[in-house]
């Protein structure tokens, strides 16, 4: 890299996206990734950074309905996109049962991986719900947890799958 | 009416967990303090190099850069430090500066700090710093450093040697005892360096207030009071003018237990600038700047008789320490544990052990979960299995014959550890039942017929918990072994607990609330807890050595008993009944067999607003404080691992894992079990995946999370847990620590299971992590 380039600020780019149902417009440096954008521009600190190189999953958020690694997406790529974070899916009530199961089963210790883990688990529940422990372990393998050893997380997800299934069987609303 | 049911001993969920699941954790980087600047560091690209010149001028011209400092500038407000213990007078240790001056001693050592409006601007400016480096030779492999010392100039010239510490233990007349052995089984072990990888990287925000010369440090740390004392001393401030506040901590495991050069440089920069300054380590710099652990090359042997009796152990441990002994706990604790705890579960009387800790041009080694205890366990349990195999004795039977017997064997182990009432025999029997040992052995045999290679491994361990003042106090180091707890009866009848203990999610907070609630007859949600602020809480040790709930909980219980007695005194006078007729239950002081009662809300109201109504002859303050000084408790347990080996690829899959642990009384079974499970997985990571890979220039080759592997969910097995309860006497709580137990025994059980499978191929492995490459090398399928 040429030294004189190193410190020349790039022009800001204006981007508009919907975050947790609210339209937001900000002017940001093109290099700003989605998590810095959420945390620093919008004060949505529930999304975390564990590596900033796409490995740990602490930054998992939803973009246009699919989970992505927020640290690998630039904010300026998201013009017109629909972004949902842990704050958003908590408020909507979509995963209240899963959150309760995490608490009940102590599927978190320090809690740093938890928002990303819940986003990932929500995707599992939505797209391929199964109480099979191996299937759960495989699906959440891109989300690192350094505290729990995963067993309790698998328990909490499996329990939620079962509970939703039996609620459905009884004609419950899920 | 007495409907109160206690919750101690039950699996209540952690109330704090409710914040985290909604994304409402508040970690240090989540704080917003007006005027905050962002610090970034230039780090040495070389493991060993002279710094001929540093030019910061170009960096300073970048718009948005507020300041840039080199080591000399930071040294003007921050003294260097030397890790030393009065109790280890022959530990050679060198002064470490906050930023390297003249010479960098490891790749990643900070050399300059840039402070800017944003982190990105600061990082841009780093690219403009000109350093003239003169690369020097790094020290060679630790074994070569230890034995060929004169050939390599000492890293710290004033010390005259690269051996930072040497210690020998000789017990039980090894010469005579070992001469009586039928066999001596020897192995060379390699425990590769690894690191802690808390998911939240180290983070600090320092705010210096120049008018009052007061420093507030918000920090992701396990030890607020330790850090307060250090900041005050090294930054030349009065301790009363330093406040350390600990927001939520995203994992620590020992990583956040030490003084870091970059963190105190941030505080120094805040003092120089009079502005709040924040530093968030990124993952790449975490790998080269967090403490590392392990890094031991060990020659060890066990001496046995043909009947299976273990006579003794010999250990020679060369431990690589890194460039400095880490402050303030030193780096040698790991080696001391490794040699003194070898053989600890066994009655064998003889031990000859030697430790040499040597300097290396690598990141400093510090206390990571287990601190040397996994090394001792790995050596011991490998040798016991190797001996059992040579003698044709079943590994479980081999242990049964040799475990210490409480009340029969001397109260101290050969390594000098007071271990009066270890329960390994009972733990073993419970484990064999829990895992259906015989059934598994049969399964292993039929799998082998079908061409599958299963292995079963067992590992017994001890865990040193809640040490007393002899460890740091007597060493002249300002780290409290004690904890204090203040309880306040609020006017509403709720009780506030202010504790010196800290919690990074383990659940010691919840345990304390359970204890206080039960002692005061309060429901669980009628107790509030405040922690992690040196301006508010009693001085405490914080979290290390599996002490949080043991010491903090004991203090909480002591305080609760004192408050209970006071409330009974007051109520007895007001109700005009005898003290011993009263109990606390269902949020009130009540007559045991009568109708009279006073609620805690009534008492709280009077104690705050209507003191005129209270009897004058009793103590009326609504606040009590209780301090506890522990004396050290040794816990124990046993683990087992079932693995499957694929001899073609060298991959090893842990299939199941079992733990039977004895920590005395269990306050919250679910949280205790989760401590064990999390610890087991960290131990399995150590056994299977984790290593800091250095090249011959001491360059770390895998300093990204893509290259340094930690356990993923799909790598890991389910973990079955049970407890054996030996009564703990001499404390109110009756409990020992549990936080490191999982990590201490897991790797040893795994490696024993792998070696069980490898035995069919006539080979063994004694090097961790057991990567496919190492396994294939053991199988002689690759060179
Ligand atoms: S922070 Fe995005 S994957 Fe780790
Ligand atoms: S709970 Fe700490 S990383 Fe998962």
Q: Any bridge partners for residue B299, and if so which?
A: B188, B316
Q: Average the pLDDT over A125-144 and give the result.
A: 97
**Is residue B168 in a domain?**
no
Q: Does B45 touch chain A (CB under 8 A)?
A: no
Nearest alpha-carbon partner for B255 in B42, B45, B71, B504: B504
- Output b/e per residue, A97-136; b: 16+ Cβ within 10 A: bbbbbbbbbbbbbbbbbbbbbbbbbbbbbeeebeeebebb
* Residue where a domain terminates, one of B609, B628, B647: B628
**Is residue B192 in a domain?**
no
**Is residue B442 in a domain?**
yes
Residues 6+ apart with CB under 8 A from B658: B431, B434, B435, B639, B640, B641, B719, B720, B721, B722
Q: Are A88 and A19 in contact (CB under 8 A)?
A: yes
- Nearest-CA residue for atom 3 of ligand 2: A145
Same domain, B615 and B759: no
**Is residue B160 in a domain?**
no
What gap in Å lies between CA B621 and CA B27, rounded to an integer? 35
CB contact (8 A) between residue B17 and residue A29: no
Q: Does B198 touch chain A (CB under 8 A)?
A: yes
What gap in Å lies between CA A59 and CA A70, rounded to an integer? 5
pLDDT of residue A2: 42
Same domain, B267 and B319: no
* Average per-residue pLDDT for chain B: 96
What gap in Å lies between CA A60 and CA A62, rounded to an integer? 7
Classified as helix, coil or strand, B685 is: helix
Our CA-based measurement puts residue B560 at a distance from the nearest CA of chain A, in whole angstroms, of 26
Q: Does A58 touch chain B (CB under 8 A)?
A: yes
Query: From start to end of B603-717, where are the E strands?
Result: 623-628, 633-645, 652-662
Other Cβ atoms within 10 Å of B157 Cβ, number: 8
Q: Which residues in chain A have their CB less than 8 angstroms from residue B199's CB?
A: 48, 50, 56, 58, 110, 112-113, 144-147
Q: Are B597 and B577 in contact (CB under 8 A)?
A: no
Hey, which residues 563-622 in chain B have their CB within 8 Å of chain A?
none
- In this structure, what DSSP letter does residue A148 have? S
Classified as helix, coil or strand, B756 is: helix
Residue B3 banded pLDDT, cuts 50, 70, 90:
low
Predicted ipTM? 0.97
- The answer to whether the CB of A57 is under 6 A from ligand 1 is yes
Nearest to B199 among A53, A58, A106 (CB): A58
Same domain, B602 and B493: yes
- What is the whole-number distance in angstroms between the Cα of residue B153 and the centre of ligand 1? 42
Domains of chain A: 3-89 (3.10.20.30), 93-169 (1.10.150.120)
pLDDT tens per residue, range B697-730: 999 999 999 999 999 999 999 999 999 999 999 9
Q: Does A93 touch chain B (CB under 8 A)?
A: no
**Is residue B163 in a domain?**
no
Q: Does A37 touch chain B (CB under 8 A)?
A: no
Residues 6+ apart with CB under 8 A from B714: A134, A137, A138, A141
Give kind and range of the element (H or E) at residue B514.
helix B508-520
Q: Does A12 touch chain B (CB under 8 A)?
A: no
Q: Are B252 and A113 in contact (CB under 8 A)?
A: no
**Is residue B10 in a domain?**
no
Q: Does B654 touch chain A (CB under 8 A)?
A: no
What gap in Å lies between CA B675 and CA B719, rounded to an integer? 12
* Residue where a domain terminates, one of B601, B628, B655: B628
- pTM attached to this predicted model: 0.97
Residue A7 banded pLDDT, cuts 50, 70, 90:
low
CA terminus-to-terminus distance, chain B: 77
Domain boundaries, position B607: 17-24+482-628
Same domain, B280 and B386: no
Q: How many residues does chain A have?
A: 174
Same domain, B462 and B545: no
Residue A172 banded pLDDT, cuts 50, 70, 90:
low
Same domain, B318 and B396: yes
Tokens representing residue B31 in the block: 């704080």
Q: Which residues in chain A have their CB less than 8 angstroms from residue B282's CB?
A: 52
Among all bound ligands, the one having the nearest atom to the CA of A148 is 2
pLDDT tens per residue, range A31-81: 999 999 999 999 999 999 999 999 999 999 999 999 999 999 999 999 999
Nearest to B710 among A3, A136, A144 (CB): A144
Other Cβ atoms within 10 Å of B753 Cβ, number: 30
Supply the CATH number for residue B552's domain. Answer: 3.30.365.10
Same domain, B120 and B264: yes
Tell me how far the alpha carbon of residue B355 is from its chain's centroid.
Answer: 21
Q: Does B730 touch chain A (CB under 8 A)?
A: no
Give kind and range of the element (H or E) at residue B429.
helix B424-435
Same domain, B615 and B496: yes
pLDDT tens per residue, range B362-410: 999 999 999 999 999 999 999 999 999 999 999 999 999 999 998 899 9
Q: Which residues in chain B have their CB less than 8 angstroms from residue A133's CB?
A: 718
pLDDT greater at residue B39 or residue B418: B39
Angle, helices A114-127/A96-105, rounded to nearest 10 degrees:
120
Least trusted range by pLDDT, from A3-12, B57-66, B201-210, B346-355: A3-12
Q: Are B520 and B564 in contact (CB under 8 A)?
A: yes
Nearest to A151 among B22, B714, B718 (CB): B718
- What is the whole-number distance in angstroms between the Cα of residue B778 and the centre of ligand 2? 35
Q: Which residues in chain A have their CB less than 8 angstroms from residue B742's CB?
A: 149
Supply the CATH number for residue B235's domain. Answer: 3.90.1170.50
Render B42-64 in DSSP notation, one character per residue: EE-SSSSEEEEEEE-HHHHTSTT
Measured at the alpha carbon of residue B175, what is the angle toward residues B169 and B179, in degrees to the nearest 5? 140
pLDDT tens per residue, range B486-506: 999 999 999 999 999 999 999
Nearest to A151 among B32, B199, B677 (CB): B677
Same domain, B311 and B275: no
- The answer to whether the CB of A69 is under 6 A from ligand 1 is yes
Same domain, B490 and B600: yes
- Strands B623-628, B483-489: pairing is antiparallel
Same domain, B277 and B297: no
Tokens representing residue B516 in the block: 């206080």
- What is the whole-number distance in angstroms between the Cα of residue B652 and the centre of ligand 2? 25
What gap in Å lies between CA B550 and CA B557, rounded to an integer? 10
What gap in Å lies between CA B505 and CA B6, rounded to an integer? 23
Same domain, B461 and B373: yes
What gap in Å lies between CA B169 and CA B706, rounded to an integer? 41
**Is residue B609 in a domain?**
yes
Among all bound ligands, the one having the nearest atom to the CA of B27 is 2
Classified as helix, coil or strand, B627 is: strand
Our CA-based measurement puts residue A67 at a distance from the nearest CA of chain B, in whole angstroms, of 16
The phi and psi torsions of B547 (rounded to 5 degrees) equal -120, -15
pLDDT of residue B5: 81
- What is the whole-number distance in angstroms between the Cα of residue B447 and the centre of ligand 1? 40
The number of distinct structural domains making up chain B is 3
* Residue where a domain terminates, one of B233, B267, B289: B289
């Amino acid at each position: 890299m040429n030294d004189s380039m190193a410190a020349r600020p790039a022009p800001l780019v204006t981007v508009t996206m919907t975050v947790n149902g609210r339209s937001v417009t900000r002017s940001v440096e093109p290099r700003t990734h989605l998590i810095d954008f959420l945390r620093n521009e919008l004060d949505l600190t529930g999304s975390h950074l564990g590596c900033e190189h796409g490995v740990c999953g602490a930054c998992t958020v939803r973009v246009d309905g699919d989970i992505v690694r927020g640290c690998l997406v630039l904010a300026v790529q998201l013009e017109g996109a629909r972004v949902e974070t842990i704050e958003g899916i908590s408020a909507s009530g979509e995963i209240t049962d899963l959150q309760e199961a995490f608490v009940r089963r102590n599927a978190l210790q320090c809690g740093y991986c938890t928002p990303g883990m819940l986003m990932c688990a929500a995707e599992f529940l939505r797209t391929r719900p199964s109480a099979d422990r191996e299937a759960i372990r495989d699906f959440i393998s891109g989300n690192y947890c350094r505290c729990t050893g995963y067993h309790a997380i698998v328990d909490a997800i499996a329990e939620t799958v079962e509970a939703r299934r039996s609620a459905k069987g009884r004609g419950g609303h899920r | 009416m007495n409907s109160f049911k206690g919750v101690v001993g039950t699996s209540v969920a952690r109330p704090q967990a409710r914040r985290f699941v909604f994304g409402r954790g508040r970690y240090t980087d989540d704080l917003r303090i007006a005027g905050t600047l962002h610090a970034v560091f230039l780090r040495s690209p070389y493991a060993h190099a002279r710094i001929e010149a540093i030019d910061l001028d170009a960096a300073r011209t970048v718009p948005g850069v507020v300041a840039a400092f080199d080591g000399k500038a930071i040294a003007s407000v921050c003294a260097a430090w030397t890790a030393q213990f009065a109790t280890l007078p022959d530990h050679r240790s060198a002064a470490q500066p906050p930023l390297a001056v003249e010479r960098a001693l490891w790749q990643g050592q900070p050399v300059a700090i840039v402070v800017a409006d944003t982190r990105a601007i600061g990082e841009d400016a780093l690219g403009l710093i000109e350093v003239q480096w003169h690369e020097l030779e790094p020290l060679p492999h630790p074994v070569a450093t230890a034995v060929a010392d004169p050939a390599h100039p000492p890293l710290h010239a004033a010390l005259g040697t690269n051996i930072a510490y040497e210690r020998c233990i000789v017990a039980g007349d090894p010469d005579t005892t070992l001469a009586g052995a039928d066999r001596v089984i020897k192995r060379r072990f390699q425990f590769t360096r690894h690191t802690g990888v808390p998911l939240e990287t180290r983070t600090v925000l320092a705010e210096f207030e120049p008018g009052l010369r007061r420093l507030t440090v918000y920090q992701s740390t396990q030890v607020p009071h330790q850090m307060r004392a250090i900041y005050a001393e090294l930054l030349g401030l009065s301790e009363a003018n330093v406040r350390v506040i600990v927001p939520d901590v995203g994992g620590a495991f020992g990583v956040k237990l030490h003084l870091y050069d970059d963190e105190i440089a941030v505080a120094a920069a805040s003092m120089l600038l009079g502005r709040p300054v924040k530093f968030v380590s990124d993952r790449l710099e975490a790998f080269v700047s967090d403490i590392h652990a392990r890094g031991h090359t060990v020659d060890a042997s066990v001496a046995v008789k043909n009947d299976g009796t273990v006579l003794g152990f010999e250990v020679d441990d060369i431990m690589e320490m890194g460039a400095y002994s880490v402050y303030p706990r030193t780096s040698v604790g790991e080696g001391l544990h490794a040699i003194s705890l070898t053989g600890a579960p066994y009655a064998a009387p003889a031990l000859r052990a030697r430790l040499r800790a040597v300097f290396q041009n690598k990141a400093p080694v510090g206390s990571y979960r287990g601190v040397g205890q996994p090394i001792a366990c790995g050596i011991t349990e490998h040798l016991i299995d190797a001996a059992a195999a040579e003698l044709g004795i079943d590994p479980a039977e081999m242990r049964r014959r040799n475990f210490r017997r409480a009340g029969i064997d001397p109260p101290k182990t050969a390594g000098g550890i007071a271990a009066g009432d270890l329960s390994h025999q009972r733990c073993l029997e419970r484990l064999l039942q829990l895992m259906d040992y015989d059934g598994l052995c049969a399964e292993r045999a039929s799998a082998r017929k079908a061409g599958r290679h299963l292995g079963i491994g067992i590992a017994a361990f001890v865990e040193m918990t809640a040490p007393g003042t002899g460890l740091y106090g007597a060493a002249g180091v300002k780290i409290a072994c004690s904890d204090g707890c203040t309880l306040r009866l609020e006017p509403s009848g709720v009780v506030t607990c202010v504790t010196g203990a800290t919690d990074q999610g383990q659940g010691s907070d919840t345990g304390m609330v359970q204890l206080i609630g039960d002692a005061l007859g309060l429901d669980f949600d009628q107790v509030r807890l405040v922690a992690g602020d040196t301006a508010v809480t009693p001085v405490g040790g914080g979290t290390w050595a599996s002490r949080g709930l043991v010491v903090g909980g004991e203090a909480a219980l002591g305080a609760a008993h004192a408050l209970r007695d006071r409330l009974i005194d007051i109520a007895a006078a007001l109700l005009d009944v005898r003290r011993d007729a009263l109990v606390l239950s269902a949020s009130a002081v009540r007559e045991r067999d009568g109708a009279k009662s006073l609620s805690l809300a009534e008492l709280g109201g009077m104690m705050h607003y209507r003191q005129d109504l209270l009897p004058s002859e009793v103590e009326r303050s609504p606040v009590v404080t209780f301090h506890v000084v522990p004396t050290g408790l040794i816990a124990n347990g046993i683990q087992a691992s079932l693995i499957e080996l694929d001899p073609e690829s060298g991959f090893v899959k842990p299939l199941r894992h079992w733990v039977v642990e004895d920590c005395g009384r269990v306050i919250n079974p679910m949280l205790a079990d989760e401590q064990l499970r999390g610890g087991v997985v960290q131990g399995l990571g150590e056994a299977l995946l984790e290593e800091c890979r250095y090249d011959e220039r001491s360059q770390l080759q895998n300093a990204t999370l893509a290259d340094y592997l930690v356990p993923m969910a799909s790598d890991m097995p389910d973990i079955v847990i049970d407890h054996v309860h030996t009564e703990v006497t001499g404390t109110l709580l009756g409990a020992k620590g549990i936080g490191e137990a999982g990590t201490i025994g897991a790797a040893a059980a795994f490696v024993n299971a792998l070696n069980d499978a490898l035995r069919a191929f006539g080979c063994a492995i004694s090097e961790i992590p057991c990567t496919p490459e190492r396994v294939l090398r053991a199988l002689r399928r690759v060179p």
